[in-house]
Amino acid sequence: MKAQQQSLLFLHSAVLLFGGTALFSKLIGLPALDITVYRTGVAAIVLFILLTMQKKKIKLASTKDYGIAVLLGVVVGIHWVTYFAGMQMAGVTIGIIAFFTYPVITVFLEPALNRSNSKSRPQVKDIVIASIVLIGIFLLIPEINLGNQVTLGIVTGIISAFFFALRNILHKNYFSHYSGPHTMLYQTLVAFLMLGLFIEVPIAQVTNRDWSLILLVGIVFTAMPHALFASSLRHLSATTAGLISCLQPLYGSVLAFLLLSERANMLTIIGGTLVVSAALFETWSVSRGR
């Protein structure tokens, strides 16, 4: 198998596993915050072992980088809690679609954080794409009432998308000189330490079944896909990685249908198509230099 073909296999495997992560919001009988705490704890241990076995440096280069690592960990912790909470309230399919507003959010958020870069300012087409996303999200909403669990789940999913976009921008600007597993080690560790103060279900009360699922999501659906994703970038462009990543809602929806019997109605399919198509276009557009 050629190096590029192997990288494509790694990339699709990573995206499939990322899509499957959402299923655990329904499979694990714990609150979203507790799932995040135990998941990040397991992932941090696995990533530490992985880096040690590869004889990679664990320490960061400077004191400033430790501060950035803490900030990234806090942001990613909030992202993961809201991600799982959104899935628990709205369902996996709708939750993933709501989360995939993040490419469009990124287009508007990045200029706000990089005011000196006028080239990155949103253009007319970005406003049009954002409008399409809003229409897609509107089709998903059963009623404009936060008392409705699905509506609240969609809002929570969009909040998760905001923090994911923020994490990506901060990582790109201040932490991209570290490998994927290295940076995820610190992010998962910080998220674990931060959120561990608020868990509702202590370790001793977690069932054996839930522990099995936590180990599965922490090792196979967190540590492994990040390692695969990082490895795939050795022989693939960021453009290819970004475009293929847009398959995540499709993979997640198919898995939710097969394993959770979640069925999407026509409005969800239309709304999801609009949101994912917009994400796909924005990813392609930005990667092509706008």
At residue 121, what is the residue type? R
Task: Show the CA angle centred on residue 81, arms to residues 208 and 11, nearest 5°.
Answer: 85
Average pLDDT for 167-186: 88
- Could you read off the pLDDT of 5-64 as tens digits, one per residue? 888 888 889 999 989 999 999 999 999 999 999 999 999 999 999 899 989 989 999 999
Does residue 194 contact residue 73 with C-beta atoms inside 8 Å? yes
Q: Specify the pLDDT at position 213.
A: 96
Position 116 scores a pLDDT of 60
CA 19 and chain centroid, separation: 9
- Tell me how far apart the alpha carbons of residues 128 and 246 are, in angstroms, rounded to a whole number: 19
Whole-model pTM: value is 0.89
pLDDT of residue 241: 75
> Could you tell me the CA-to-CA distances from 97 to 30, 147, 248 in Å, in that order?
23, 20, 9
% helix, strand, coil for the chain, step of 5: 80, 0, 20
Question: 250 and 231 in contact (C-beta within 8 Å)?
Answer: no
In this predicted structure, which of 101-110, 164-173, 222-231, 232-241 has the lowest mean pLDDT?
Answer: 232-241
Q: Band of the pLDDT at 214, cuts 50, 70, 90?
A: very high
Q: Is the pLDDT of residue 117 over 80?
A: no
Counting Cβ atoms within 10 Å, is residue 274 exposed (0-12), middle (13-18) or buried (19+)? buried
Q: Tell me what pLDDT residue 207 has.
A: 95
> Which residue ranges make up each domain of the chain?
30-214+265-287
Q: How much is the average pLDDT of 136-144?
A: 90
The span from the CA of 88 to the CA of 82, in Å, is: 10
The single-letter code of the amino acid at 176 is S
The reported pLDDT for the residue numbered 286 is 63
Average pLDDT, the chain: 88
What confidence score (pLDDT) does residue 120 get?
Answer: 60
Token representation of residue 27: 């499979």
Interaxial angle between packed helices 92-99 and 266-287, expressed in degrees from 0 to 180 and rounded to the nearest 10: 30
Q: How far apart are CA 117 and CA 110, in angstroms?
A: 9
DSSP string, 66-101: HHHHHHHHHHHHHHHHHHHHHHHHH-HHHHHHHHTT
Pairwise CA distance, residues 239 & 228, whole Å: 17
State the residue for tokens 């923020």: 166
Is the pLDDT score of 256 beyond 70? yes
pLDDT above 90 as % of the chain: 55
pLDDT digits (tens, 9 = 90+) for 67-113: 999 999 999 999 999 999 999 999 999 999 999 998 888 888 888 88
Alpha-carbon gap, residue 183 to 188, rounded angstroms: 9
- Asked whether residue 236 carries a pLDDT value surpassing 80, the answer given is no
Looking at residues 199-205, what average pLDDT do you find? 93
